[in-house]
Chain A
Amino acid sequence: MTIAVLLKQVPDTTSKISVSGGRVDESAVSKWSMSPYDEYALESALQLKESGGGDVVAITCGPARAAKMLTDAAAVGADSLLHVLVEDLNALDSTQVQAILAAAVSHCSAQVVFCGKQAADTNAGSTGPGVAHLMGASCVTMVSEVASEGDSFTAMRASSGGDQRVAVSAPCLFAFDKGTTELRRPNVRGIMMAKKKVAETLGASDLGVDTSASSVSVDSHSPPPEKPPGQRFEGVDSVAVVVSKLRDEANVI
């Protein structure tokens, strides 16, 4: 069994994001990391591989810098790596990205796909369901863990009425939420092994995907509005004012 894990490199959640000329300034991002939900997908894929055999192929679609993230995936145990090189991911619409990833999954002959429920940069959440649709695969979202028995899989997912256990068979796609699973840390042995795992690098056209006409274009990015400054009150005389503001405006007392 081959498990394909879809990974996206995003600005690290601790990095400062700045906007310049109506666009997020990517050159000012100090650290790029694997999107956090994707980390849970990768960890779960590695655990499933360890319990049931098979191999894990890590797939990303993104610019050259994303190669580092694939090597990081190899260092924790991904068996093979596929990099679909797209220099400007922002120029593609989500349908095109889904088409590339579905073609990449097919290129790896994988019937089972793990991914994060959404990327930490766009937060769109469309990739998993979109890829599943193109694959004609069952799609389970908000997954916390997956177990397999033969060709059938059971996924735990949180729902408003409690945890749901969902059974599906391949082809299937699981989009992971943050679960209780602890992520593994790389070690020196893994890092040295990763050196030997060379990513297969393809272009979108190698996979037969047309990326010429994006149907959606982003007009501009803007930073969230700055918080209004706080109000300061000094002296005993202001107690009544503060109390009335807390009671009537903030409604906290």
Chain B
Amino acid sequence: MAYEALDFYDIDSLLSDEERMVRDMVRDWVDEKVIPNIEEACRDGVFPDEWRVDLGEMGILGAPLKGYGCPGLSYIAYGLICQELERGDSGVRSFASVQGSLAMYPIWDFGSEEQKNHYLPRMATGEWVGCFGLTEPDYGSNPGDMITRAEDKGDHYLLNGAKMWITNGTIADLAVVWAKLDGVIRGFIVEKGDPGFTAPEMTGKHSLKASVTSELVFQDCRIPKDRILPDVKGLKGPFSCLNNARFGISWGAVGAAQSCFNSAKEYALSRIQFDHPIASFQLVQNKLAWMLREITKAQLLAYHLGQKKDDGTWIPEHISLAKMNNVDIALEIARMARDIHGANGILDEYPVMRHMANLESVKTYEGTHDIHNLILGRHITGIQAFTREFTE
């Protein structure tokens, strides 16, 4: 059966032809390449290299960036790409988010002309994979106190420190790494093979199993002077990248929720208990109605946020609300879908438990659910509640 995306309020009619065509292209690719192979990729714990090649060939990496070989699509088109990729698997969307929003974006926005010309065209085609090093083992929600340091050694920079939970790290050709230079957070481009740089893979994940997660280790890592991102200082650099990635996640979560909803609906219609399909029972209908209601609200949030991104009237708190809400309801929908599937819900024949396990990560990365609440709390009250030290 052809995939029929839940679109109760006909968001489709609000899209441009171009946005719809891009969405359909990615949707078809996910149906053809991701869904038939995702369970094997998860079992093997690999991100198939073929997917990297295909994403590059489709031309969707760094979707909203313009120039330097980048696609220059609308933010709504970028959102739709994330939605379709995450309908397949959060790990596939993570690859694209990190490549586009976390690795290409800082080079595009804060890099020198030479850096942009050198890195962006090859990253847009997927030839070079990028990763983003901000989080450290002891500094997750609190990246401002990071330990990783850069020293100016005259003709080069010397990096020391370690990053953790880095998507794409081991397979990356370059890493955008945030480190303190004279106490100020700066961005550096570290390339695979730079002396003193290693990226061992983290293993044992129960979530995002088809996505590569790594540590980045810098031990007297020497990089040339022209690898610093010249145009940004402080947390503004990494946070502006995260805004774009979080925007994509708010759409991606809708895709995962749509996948769970479809699976639950079909299962409920075909599963017979007490001589009737379980979809005919009120408790099951109540669950399906709740899913439809929350997905529809999430779609409207994502779409309106996309319009605000495209016309430049957004603030970071808008993104916090959408990321937090949409991942939250997607996770709840995945759990509820697993419930409707009964024991079958734990099998890899159905996508629901995989989405559920993935979304546990998505709820935590790119600003945890609680941190986004604190961002909104600060917005409402004007009082920051991240730390007990009352300094801004």
Contact = CB atoms under 8 A, between A and B. Distances in A.
Q: Do A and B come from one complex?
A: yes
A189 B21 contact: no
B152 interface: no
Nearest to A67: B17
A187 B18 contact: no
Contacts of A159: none
Contacts of B60: 188
B25 A191 contact: yes
Contacts of B18: 191-192, 195
Given A14-B1, A15-B2, A30-B4, A185 B21 contact: no
A194 interface: yes
B1 A16 contact: yes
A70 to B, nearest CB: 12
A186 interface: yes
A189 B60 CA distance: 9
B128 interface: no
Interface residues of A, number: 19
A71 B17 contact: yes
Given A71-B17, A71-B21, A195-B17, A188 B71 contact: yes
Nearest to A13: B2
A133 B193 CA distance: 65
Contacts of B2: 12, 14-15, 30-31
Contacts of A16: 1
Given A195-B17, A195-B18, A185 B1 contact: no
A29 to B, nearest CB: 10
B4 A185 contact: no
A187 B1 contact: no
A34 interface: no
B55 to A, nearest CB: 10
A194 B21 contact: yes
A16 B266 CA distance: 15
A15 B1 CA distance: 6
B17 A188 contact: no
B231 interface: no
Interface in B9-67: 17-18, 21-22, 25, 28-29, 54, 57-60, 63
B6 interface: no
Contact of A75 (B1, B21, B71): B21
Contacts of A14: 1-2
Contacts of B4: 30-31
Given A14-B2, A15-B2, A187 B21 contact: no
A188 B58 contact: yes
Interface in A167-213: 185-189, 191-192, 194-195
Contact of B57 (A187, A192, A194): A187
B31 to A, nearest CB: 9
A93 interface: no
A79 interface: no
A198 to B, nearest CB: 12
Contact of A186 (B1, B17, B21, B63): B21
Contacts of A68: 17
Given A185-B29, A185-B58, A191 B22 contact: yes
A237 B211 CA distance: 53
B181 interface: no
B202 interface: no
A76 to B, nearest CB: 10
A187 B25 CA distance: 8
Contacts of A187: 25, 57-59
Contacts of A72: 21
Nearest to B70: A188
Contacts of B57: 185, 187
Given A30-B2, A75-B21, 5 more contacts: A14-B2, A188-B22, A188-B58, A189-B59, A192-B18
Interface of A: 12, 14-16, 30-31, 68, 71-72, 75, 185-189, 191-192, 194-195
17 contacts: A12-B2, A30-B4, A68-B17, A71-B17, A71-B21, A75-B21, A185-B28, A185-B57, A186-B21, A186-B25, A187-B25, A188-B58, A188-B63, A188-B71, A189-B59, A191-B21, A192-B72
> Shortest 10 CB-CB distances between A and B: which pairs?
A188-B59, A14-B2, A187-B59, A188-B71, A191-B21, A31-B2, A187-B58, A186-B25, A189-B59, A12-B2
